[in-house]
């Protein structure tokens, strides 16, 4: 085994972990600010200029808070469940190409930890396995709100998984490869070749499923405060809760990368804008969309979500696959 590859992979993994964790933390600040301005508030203002150091304050608070494990909780599972959320979220990023290839000191770096040929399948699978975190957390908490949150987790999983899978099938039929690098290279010819133009329906469906997968607002039913306090996270505090939080935002970033790469041309350069900037712009826009929708829209009930996913979105996805197949033949 070549040691250089091992060292390179370890370095890449550490970089991805730290950068994405930092981005996730910063996304919480951005979210508070954007929501505040959209709701005619100011948001955090006191720690640092315009509250930019609120991140550090929150981090210190989370790390130093007392770690409470409820008396009747199933303690090993209760303690282990928060680890699953960021672990799966970061594992899913192993197959995502973040940037185009670049050269450092004459050494070509491919900014993907592992280019496996079933990349998109791996990402979707591991991200869905992340649903074990709220499920186990809710079931081990011995708290009725947490249990309801866990039950809703299963509902969410059953709903969005079928839609996101079927929606992806149509573009994958056109590309003929599951590797995200191949998917990116398929759209190399400028804006006109982006898959969003040839597969607009699949794009819409995948975005909707992405909102459900990351538990963002129209589908935030597993931790909706007005109904079930905080869902699965009701009994968690301190850094254990913080791990859920990091996992949630890392998932948002993963979904943003997936949508950008599959439908919006990925990291291909556009005109004079280099590819790295392009993909950063795209995922920023997509994360802004997450926050924007949270400020504007109400959320749906669990039964409405199942109704929407199974009775509306799934048939549309099937029709989309059918039409794509006919056109391809």
Pick the piece of the chain touching other proteins (CB under 8 A) from 41-49, 61-69, 112-120, 133-141: 41-49
Q: Least distance from C-beta 40 to other proteins, angstroms?
A: 5
| Residue 273 DSSP one-character state | B
- Which residue, 39 or 103, is less far from other proteins as judged by CB? 39
319 binds other proteins (CB under 8 A): no
Q: Least distance from C-beta 291 to other proteins, angstroms?
A: 10
- Which residue, 277 or 289, is less far from other proteins as judged by CB? 289
Interface residue with other proteins among 132, 292, 307, 310 (CB under 8 A) is 292
Q: Least distance from C-beta 31 to other proteins, angstroms?
A: 13
Interface residue with other proteins among 57, 169, 295, 318 (CB under 8 A) is 295
- Selection from 26, 244, 18 nearest residue 146 by Cα: 244
Interface residue with other proteins among 37, 63, 102, 197 (CB under 8 A) is 37
38 binds other proteins (CB under 8 A): yes
Tell me if residue 90 falls in helix, strand or coil: helix
296 binds other proteins (CB under 8 A): yes
- Selection from 278, 254, 247 nearest residue 206 by Cα: 254
- Which residue, 13 or 316, is less far from other proteins as judged by CB? 316
**217, 291 contact by CB (below 8 A):** no
**51, 28 contact by CB (below 8 A):** no
HSE, side-chain direction, 13 A CA sphere, residue 312: 11
Q: Which residues, other chains included, contact 176 with Cβ-Cβ below 8 Å and sequence gap of 6+?
A: none
Interface residue with other proteins among 41, 61, 75, 301 (CB under 8 A) is 41
Report CA 147 to chain centroid distance, whole Å.
23
- Which residue, 132 or 307, is less far from other proteins as judged by CB? 307
Interface residue with other proteins among 6, 19, 42, 52 (CB under 8 A) is 42
Pick the piece of the chain touching other proteins (CB under 8 A) from 6-14, 47-55, 181-189, 295-303: 295-303
Quote the CA–CA distance of 124 and 134 in Å, as a whole number: 17
Interface residue with other proteins among 3, 39, 64, 108 (CB under 8 A) is 39
- Which residue, 38 or 319, is less far from other proteins as judged by CB? 38
Q: What angle do CA 233, 235, 237 make, to 5 degrees?
A: 80
45 binds other proteins (CB under 8 A): yes
**213, 164 contact by CB (below 8 A):** yes
Site string (245-284) toward other proteins, x via CB under 8 A: ----------------------------------------
What would the two tokens of residue 112 be?
A: 């993907």
Task: Tell me how many residues contact other proteins (CB under 8 A).
Answer: 13
- Which residue, 12 or 32, is less far from other proteins as judged by CB? 32
**172, 262 contact by CB (below 8 A):** no
Q: Least distance from C-beta 208 to other proteins, angstroms?
A: 12
Q: What distance, in Å, lies between the first and last C-alpha atoms of the chain?
A: 44
| Residue 264 DSSP one-character state | S
**29, 55 contact by CB (below 8 A):** yes
14 binds other proteins (CB under 8 A): no
What would the two tokens of residue 295 be?
A: 């400020």
**102, 111 contact by CB (below 8 A):** yes
Quote the CA–CA distance of 114 and 123 in Å, as a whole number: 12
Contacts with other proteins, residue ranges (CB under 8 A) = 34, 37-42, 45, 292-293, 295-297
């Amino acid at each position: 085994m070549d040691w250089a590859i091992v060292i390179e992979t370890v370095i890449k993994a550490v970089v991805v972990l730290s950068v994405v964790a930092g981005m996730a933390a910063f996304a919480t600040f951005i979210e508070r600010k954007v929501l505040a301005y959209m709701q005619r508030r100011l948001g955090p203002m006191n720690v640092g200029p315009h509250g930019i150091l609120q991140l550090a304050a929150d981090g210190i608070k989370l790390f130093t808070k007392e770690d409470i494990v409820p008396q009747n909780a199933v303690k090993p599972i209760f303690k282990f469940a928060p680890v699953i959320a960021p672990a799966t979220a970061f594992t899913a990023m192993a197959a995502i190409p973040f940037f185009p290839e670049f050269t450092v000191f004459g050494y070509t770096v491919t900014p993907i930890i592992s280019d496996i040929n079933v990349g998109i399948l791996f990402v979707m699978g591991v991200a869905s396995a992340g649903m074990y975190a709220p499920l186990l957390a809710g079931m081990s908490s011995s708290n009725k709100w947490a249990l309801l949150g866990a039950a809703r987790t299963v509902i969410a999983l059953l709903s969005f998984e079928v839609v996101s899978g079927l929606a992806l099938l149509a573009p994958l039929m056109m590309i003929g490869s599951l590797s995200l690098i191949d998917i990116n290279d398929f759209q190399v010819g400028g804006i006109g070749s982006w898959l969003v133009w040839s597969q607009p329906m699949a794009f819409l469906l995948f975005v909707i499923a992405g909102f459900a997968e990351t538990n963002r607002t129209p589908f935030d039913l597993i931790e909706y405060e007005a109904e079930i306090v905080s869902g699965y996270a009701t009994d968690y505090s301190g850094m254990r809760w913080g791990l859920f939080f990091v996992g949630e935002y890392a998932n948002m970033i993963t979904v943003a990368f997936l949508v950008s790469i599959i439908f919006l041309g990925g990291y291909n350069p556009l005109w004079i804008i280099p590819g790295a900037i392009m993909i950063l712009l795209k995922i920023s826009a997509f994360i802004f969309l997450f926050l924007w929708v949270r400020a504007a829209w109400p959320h749906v009930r669990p039964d409405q979500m199942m109704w929407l996913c199974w009775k509306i979105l799934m048939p549309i996805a099937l029709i989309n696959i059918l039409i794509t197949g006919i056109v391809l033949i």
